[in-house]
Structure 1
Amino acid sequence: MDSPQNSPPDVPAEPEGGPREPILTLPSALTAYIILLAVIHLRILLPPELENWTIDVFGFIPKRYDSSLLNLQIPGGTGAKVWTFVTYSLLHANLTHLGFNVLWLLPFGSALARRFGAVRFYVFLAVTAAAGALAHLVTHEHAIAPMIGASASVSGAMAAAIRFAFVRGSFLSFSRTDAETAAKVPALPLSRALRDGRVLGFLSVWFGVNIIFGIGAIGVGSEGATVAWQAHIGGFFAGLLLFSLFDPVPRARGDAADASSRDISNRI
């Protein structure tokens, strides 16, 4: 029998479900993406003519695809018709624009980057950016003003994250575990998610805010540029519908999802 002198000191028990890490501990994939956005934003230090050129070449301009304007010369040529579906999402009008997108990306993008891994995460951001550009093109086919900003990708990340955000143990549940475990809980099937009151509440608020922005033509930044809310919705729907194609975590069974939902509802 061990003597009292050799007994290990008392160690406080960890809370049930494991250690609770800060919700905004950033994974390396998201950190790298934010740093990339910040470095690219240094373009505002360029002379005005060169800065405008970068927006024309890498921003998304619907009129670039207008076949009736054969003599219209927009910098970037044919290549810009391809790469601007993604590159526009790496440009921002000002620090407020950039900061707002990063702020929304922190909780949802962190969980998604941990769940997907770096490669899937970056491809997902590119796909949702392209979906947002397509939605903007369909609704603004003759617009010559460049669209820039990561909002469509951020919207896609938010939509994807709500597929698992409210599941027991995930990052928006009342029984959240550590960040890595919270990001790997089985997601709700889409049909089940669309019957979940918390998901529907989130969708209602999100769409309501975007409709208000759209109807009111609310400007962003000192330049008075309006919010491209159709691109937000395009990215959001792409993230919601395409999530399963990227998700490496097996789906939750219907009975397990229902049990998780009931458990959390009892805690509210």
Structure 2
Amino acid sequence: MRLAALQQKNGLILHDADSLSDACASHQLSSPTHPLSTALFESDYWQAQGLVVGEAPGRGSSLFLQARDHEQWVLRPYQRGGLIAKVSKQRYVWLGAERTRAFREVRLTAALYEQGLPVPRPVACCVTRFGLTYEAALLTVRISGSRALASLLTNGEADEALLKRVGAMIKRFHQAGLDHVDLNARNILVDEAGKPWLIDLDRCRLRPPGKWQAGNLQRLERSVVKFASARPHTHIVAGYHSGS
């Protein structure tokens, strides 16, 4: 995967150059042609063309887009949570392009994807600067037919074998050094084949082994017990310790 940057007005776009051509600042999706521009990161653009096919539950304004004939994308604007959201829900302090949350997440996701780890393929991100602040949005490939682990737990569809696969998956990411700061049952997707995937790498980073690994697992435990009457975390931990 080759990441390329494109500057357009006050927008900076970091994209996968292997699938989006920056040579002519445009690329071909399903008909019609969609220019590679800041408009691609706005919901109004996709809604006007009738290409919004759904919305991610529990993820605010994240949209599912019919980007190609056989490929859907997820459009996720970066939004603040907590008390600071009352001051500004979408604006962040500008400290340079490489320090924006969007650029960091795309580069990290691309690095993990290149290692063969189960993360969505990043398509592009856009950072729009407003003086000392910026807004950002991210496009990734949607995992076809996937459902959140939280949903499976709630409906009693997460069996022991699946939970052990989740644990083994987390072990692989820890071996790669990924500290997922928001590891919860909503950020783990399970595809139609029963394969778990990890999503939402905002603010995550690569680190040497340490106490943070146990902290990740404890955070996940607090999450899964909210969605299941039993204690499925024991199976996740078993899969984690038996994983290669």
**TM-score normalised to the size of structure 2?**
0.26
Q: Who wins on radius of gyration, i.e. which is larger?
A: 1
Q: Higher strand fraction: Structure 1 or Structure 2?
A: 2
Higher RCO (CA < 8 A, seq sep 6+): 1
